[in-house]
Amino acid sequence: MTNFDLIVIGSGPGGYVAAIRAGQLGMKVAIVEREALGGICLNWGCIPTKALLRSAEVLHLTKTAESYGVKVDKAGFDLPAVVKRSRGIAAQLSGGVKHLMKKNKITVVMGTARLEKGAAAPTVMVKDAKGKDTKYTAKHVLLATGARARAIPQAGLEPDGKLIWTYREALVPDVMPKRLLVIGSGAIGIEFASFYNELGSDVTVVEALDRILPAEDEEISAFARKDFEKQGLTIHTGAQVKGLKPGKTTVSAEITLGGKTETQTFDRVILAIGIVGNVEDLGLETLGVKVDRTHVVVDGFGRTGVKGLYAIGDLTGGPWLAHKASHEGVICVEAMGGKTEDAHPFDPWNVPGCTYSHPQVASVGLTEAKAKATGRKLKIGKFPFLGNGKAIALGAGDGLVKTIFDAETGELLGAHMIGAEVTELIQGYVIARQGELTESELMETIFPHPTLSEMMHESVLAAYGKVLHM
């Protein structure tokens, strides 16, 4: 078959979820993938990094086992085995996507896609591994080609795949670097810094802005920095790497801090300075698709302005998160299918963010600074992990839960958390915001004991002077 209702280009969390939803709506669907089903997230991003971080977490527990009354003769790790486990999990989940495609009767086409002008929608030309071109047509075409690591060649910040890494090389290290430089302190940079630090690397993080995790609430960022530095990370903020000079086995980095430039030597460097959309070689220019700083411009339903052509996920800009892409994919397909009466445009107001470092960081909604900038009167509640019985029992007393409310309406404007398992807890606040729950409804909700979730309740109570366990 070469004619479909929908052709999806890219099989990451945005693309494959969109394809499944389209299949559920009765569409005849094809999905085009040039590398591996599951895209970057399942193969080179979200999933394999979490597998590595889990190994680091287990190592940390063995190192600290004595504090739990458990005896471990010697805590150590096998790097090839750690990497092998991570790659095996990625392969397993990629295979799971293949099963989902078959289950939902979605045609999988392996190859590289390029768009040409068509009738109802652009024509899709796919070049397979042997160089053969095949023409595919559809009523709708959905771009979900994702993004890749950003490089700045003019500043000497360009990966070589050997000594200067992106997330791909960092996931499959050939050696454990003694000295590691991480450029950028967003979620990707901090997660790798946390992993390599736990496994014994001397890690330095350089961030151009004035604080790490700059998308997070300032108080949470400060808490995280203090904790990371206590673990041994060296962190430079308000600093820049002016250039990298790879040698045979090491890399020299010119780091400017406080107006002074010094040269430091590292075994490996990880570039985590952002991402750029995969817009090249798709034929977008010929079609007249609007692209802004490597990202395709779309409306709330993923429409590009070109008849029959849509785009979702990292390709369309931030927040660059897998769950955002999946949500966009469902909205886009439901709108184009016309079979869901309550199809609504995508709005990033309630997209949660998670960083799986040690400690974990999670948030949703406005930071304190952004909430104040709206001019509203605020009620802010905070509760420390040290006041929670389950956290103490886990040996995870470092952490904080912070909630921000509109003082007049009781609207939950934002929630920010740092500590054990907060990436699992944050969804409670996401649901509260989605359901438009007020402070009184959250206060009246029963939270099970003993759980970490009780801190969420206490933080709400604290915002209104009713905290119980502090």
Tally of domains within the chain: 3
Instruction: Say if residue 384's pLDDT is above 90.
Output: yes
Q: Calculate the CA 261 to chain-centre distance.
A: 32
Burial letters 143-163, b for 16+ CB under 10 A, else e: bbbbbbbebeeeebbebeeeb
> What CATH number is associated with residue 445?
3.30.390.30
In this structure, of 196-210, 279-293, 329-343, 413-427, the range with the lowest mean pLDDT score is 329-343
Position 128 in a domain: yes
Last residue of a domain, one of 273, 300, 321: 273
- Tell me which residue of 336, 340, 357 sits closest to 422, measured CA to CA: 357
Extract the runs of DSSP E, i.e. beta strands, from 87-168: 107-110, 112-116, 123-127, 133-143, 147-149, 164-165
Residues 28 and 67 both lie in one domain: yes
Position 377 in a domain: yes
Position 353 in a domain: no
Residues in a beta bridge with 3:
137
Residues 262 and 290 both lie in one domain: no
Position 439 in a domain: yes
Asked if residue 126 lies in contact with residue 111, where contact means CB atoms within 8 angstroms, the answer is: yes
Instruction: Say if residue 446's pLDDT is above 90.
Output: yes
How many residues would you count in the chain? 470
- The pLDDT tens digits of the residues spanning 62-109 come to 999 999 999 999 999 999 999 999 999 999 999 999 999 999 999 999
C-alpha triplet 89, 320, 309: angle, nearest 5°: 100
- Tell me which residue of 214, 199, 356 sits closest to 274, measured CA to CA: 214
Give the DSSP H or E segment for 229: helix 218-230
Mean pLDDT value across the chain? 96
Quote the pLDDT of residue 405: 98
**449 flagged as catalytic:** yes
Residues 98 and 33 both lie in one domain: yes
CA dist 187 and 214 (Å) reads 9
Give the DSSP H or E segment for 8: strand 3-9
Which residue matches tokens 């030309």? Answer: 125
Residues 231 and 289 both lie in one domain: no
Confidence of residue 313 (pLDDT cuts 50, 70, 90): very high
Residues 226 and 291 both lie in one domain: no
Q: How far is residue 79 from each of residues 87, 176, 300, 367, 421, measured CA to CA in Å?
A: 12, 8, 44, 38, 25
Domain that holds residue 198: 153-273
- The pLDDT tens digits of the residues spanning 267-291 come to 999 999 999 999 999 999 999 999 9
Residues 219 and 236 both lie in one domain: yes
Position 468 in a domain: no
Instruction: Say if residue 339's pLDDT is above 80.
Output: no
Instruction: Say if residue 341's pLDDT is above 80.
Output: no
Instruction: Say if residue 14's pLDDT is above 80.
Output: yes
| 447 Cβ contact list (under 8 Å, min separation 6) | 453, 454, 456, 457
Helix ranges (H only) for 115-180 are 167-171
- % pLDDT > 70, the chain: 99
In this structure, of 156-160, 348-352, 391-395, 406-410, the range with the lowest mean pLDDT score is 156-160
CA dist 46 and 424 (Å) reads 15
Quote the pLDDT of residue 196: 98
CA dist 236 and 345 (Å) reads 40
Position 168 in a domain: yes
Q: How far is residue 115 from each of residues 7, 70, 205, 281, 308, measured CA to CA in Å?
A: 11, 60, 41, 9, 12
Quote the pLDDT of residue 153: 87
pTM (2 decimals)?
0.95
Residues 28 and 102 both lie in one domain: yes
Determine which one of 60, 140, 416, 449 is catalytic.
449
> Average pLDDT for residues 142-159, to the nearest whole number?
91
CA dist 216 and 361 (Å) reads 9
Residues 51 and 196 both lie in one domain: no
Residues 268 and 300 both lie in one domain: no
Position 252 in a domain: yes
